[in-house]
Amino acid sequence: MHITHLSLENFRNYGRLELNFPLGATLLHGENAQGKTNLLEALTYLATTRSPHAGQDSQMLNWDMVSSPDPVIVGRLTAAIATKEGIRRVQMRLIREQKERGQVSFRREALINGRKVRLMDMLGQLQVVLFLPEDVNLITGAPNMRRRYLNVMLCQIDRHYCRNLSQYNKVLEQRNATLRRLAEGQDNPEILAIFSERLVELGSQIYARRAAFFAEISRDTQRIHYEELTGGRESLRIGYLPRLQVGQNGNDKETAVALAGWLDEHRGDLETVSQRFAGELASSYEADIARGATNIGPHRDDWCFWINGHLLSDYGSRGQQRSAMLAMKMAEIEWMSRLSGETPILLLDEVLAELDQQRRELLLRTVQSVEQAILTATDPGMFSSDFLEKATSMTVSGGRVQVDSSS
Ligand SMILES: Nc1ncnc2c1ncn2[C@@H]1O[C@H](COP(=O)(O)OP(=O)(O)OP(=O)(O)O)[C@@H](O)[C@H]1O
Ligand SMILES: [Mg+2]
């Protein structure tokens, strides 16, 4: 797929923007703080209904508007996307309303071809793979960041997974609230049993889908890393670390790896996965009551990389960590294309500066091989003249974008 037009209204430093995008590679260049990253953020937001940067959605509204006396401020992001099935128009609206007595409420709306839809229905309409320099922090960061990354990726491809996940999170909250009431001698255990049963039903499907995902992605990640990034010197393994056993500790990778192997073997048999999850959840009762929270389940899953058998987060150099993430992202492009029948749009924010010559060349080859890629850079001099000749260059300055005359 590719995006043909983007229009922004009151989004970050863009008061108003109407921009056509060509096929192939587009290079957005300009000085610092001009709006390059904001543009990629807008596209990612349309694709995933989330900002890739942590923080509140309301922060994306143009701040000059926010300080205006207008009681209703609407931010609008609209894209026209060309797919194999024709042109599709997707829109996200960010609405801030000033209520009586100074109260403020914030709402989001999603529209496809002019019709309001649930936010979840937006996922997959626009598929992107985003490369950020800070991606590398995922490897050493907290597990919730890695889970989020996994979920955003899977949700773009698998709506069923996303629905399960959203329901699972709701049931989890209800179960945890019940646990806390039970600890205080309120509520009754039958209520807990109802939530536990539902949690098992939804959670088992999440385990199975994640196990399948890691099986699907790991071979390509391994091959790209081994053959194309390290010239056969380093072997990379990517591992799913499910939390499915009572008393399991996040540092105990061996147990998690064994559980991942078991899940991979049984992912086609949801009944068996459910039985195991239900049994472990029952055994976790005392610990759950004591903590006032559910100790096991896919909400505590994790994943990691090993390089030549060593844990990359603990032993890898920064460069090795960067290469692993790069290999995984490249594998994601293949994975998404294979599953959805559409090539995702690549969004690369200032990533070239971080890479050595060999990795730069590989990435640029990939960029040139996909239907559409949008890159940002403060310094276009980093790109080869061959690349610049083929790409469309645009200058970003103070929230305005202009196609360079030579393009
Ligand atoms: N809600 C907002 N309203 C208006 N402006 C904002 C808002 N949020 C961020 N900005 C501003 O947008 C500008 C551009 O940010 P952006 O991150 O896109 O810059 P950039 O071109 O990628 O720069 P760099 O080269 O430094 O990465 C910044 O000056 C920032 O302060
Ligand atoms: Mg930037």
> Does the C-beta of 124 come closer than 6 Å to ligand 1?
no
CA-nearest residue, atom 18 of ligand 1 = 35
Q: Is residue 169 part of a domain?
A: yes
CA nearest neighbour of 298 among 168, 392, 404? 168
d(CA 23, CA 81): 11
pTM: 0.94
Q: Is residue 333 part of a domain?
A: no
Q: Separation of 393 CA from ligand 1 center, angstroms? A: 20
Question: Chain-centre distance of CA 108, in angstroms?
Answer: 19
pLDDT digits 0-9 by tens, 312-350? 999 999 999 999 999 999 999 999 999 999 999 999 999
Residues 156 and 28 in one domain: no
| Overall number of domains in the chain | 2
Residues 142 and 242 in one domain: yes
> Does the C-beta of 62 come closer than 6 Å to ligand 1?
yes
Residues 82 and 185 in one domain: no
What's the CATH code of the domain at 373?
Answer: 3.40.50.300
d(CA 206, CA 132): 27
In the listed set 261, 285, 318, which residue is the last one of a domain according to the structure?
318
pLDDT digits 0-9 by tens, 118-140? 999 999 999 999 999 999 999 99
Q: Separation of 12 CA from ligand 1 center, angstroms? A: 7
Q: Is residue 331 part of a domain?
A: no
Residues 292 and 153 in one domain: yes
> Does the C-beta of 378 come closer than 6 Å to ligand 1?
yes
Residues 75 and 207 in one domain: no
Residues 83 and 148 in one domain: no
Provide φ and ψ at 342, rounded to 5°. Answer: -125, 140
**Taking the CB of residue 385, how many other CB atoms lie within 10 A of it?**
8
Closest ligand 1 atom to Cα of 60: 1
Residues 300 and 356 in one domain: no
Question: Residue 196: which domain range?
Answer: 135-318
Angle at 162 between CA 258 and CA 212, to 5 degrees: 30
Closest ligand 1 atom to Cα of 35: 18
Residues 78 and 159 in one domain: no
pLDDT digits 0-9 by tens, 200-252? 999 999 999 999 999 999 999 999 999 888 888 999 999 999 999 999 988 89
Closest ligand 1 atom to Cα of 31: 25
Question: Under a CB-based contact definition with an 8 Å cutoff, are residues 21 and 50 in contact?
Answer: no
Query: Which residues lie across from 403 on neighbouring strands?
Result: 394
pLDDT digits 0-9 by tens, 49-65? 999 886 889 999 999 98
Q: Is residue 324 part of a domain?
A: no
> Does the C-beta of 59 come closer than 6 Å to ligand 1?
yes
Residues 44 and 84 in one domain: yes
In the listed set 256, 286, 318, which residue is the last one of a domain according to the structure?
318
> Does the C-beta of 164 come closer than 6 Å to ligand 1?
no
Residues 252 and 175 in one domain: yes
Those residues whose beta carbon sits under 5 angstroms from the ion ligand 2 are 36-37
pLDDT at 66: 82
CA-nearest residue, atom 30 of ligand 1 = 33
> Does the C-beta of 10 come closer than 6 Å to ligand 1?
no
State the ligand closest to the CA atom of 31. 1
Residues 122 and 157 in one domain: no
DSSP state of 245: S
Q: Pairing between strand 302-307 and 392-397?
A: unpaired
Q: Is residue 313 part of a domain?
A: yes
Q: Is residue 335 part of a domain?
A: no
Mean pLDDT of 265-282: 98
DSSP E strand boundaries for 99-235: 104-112, 115-117, 128-131
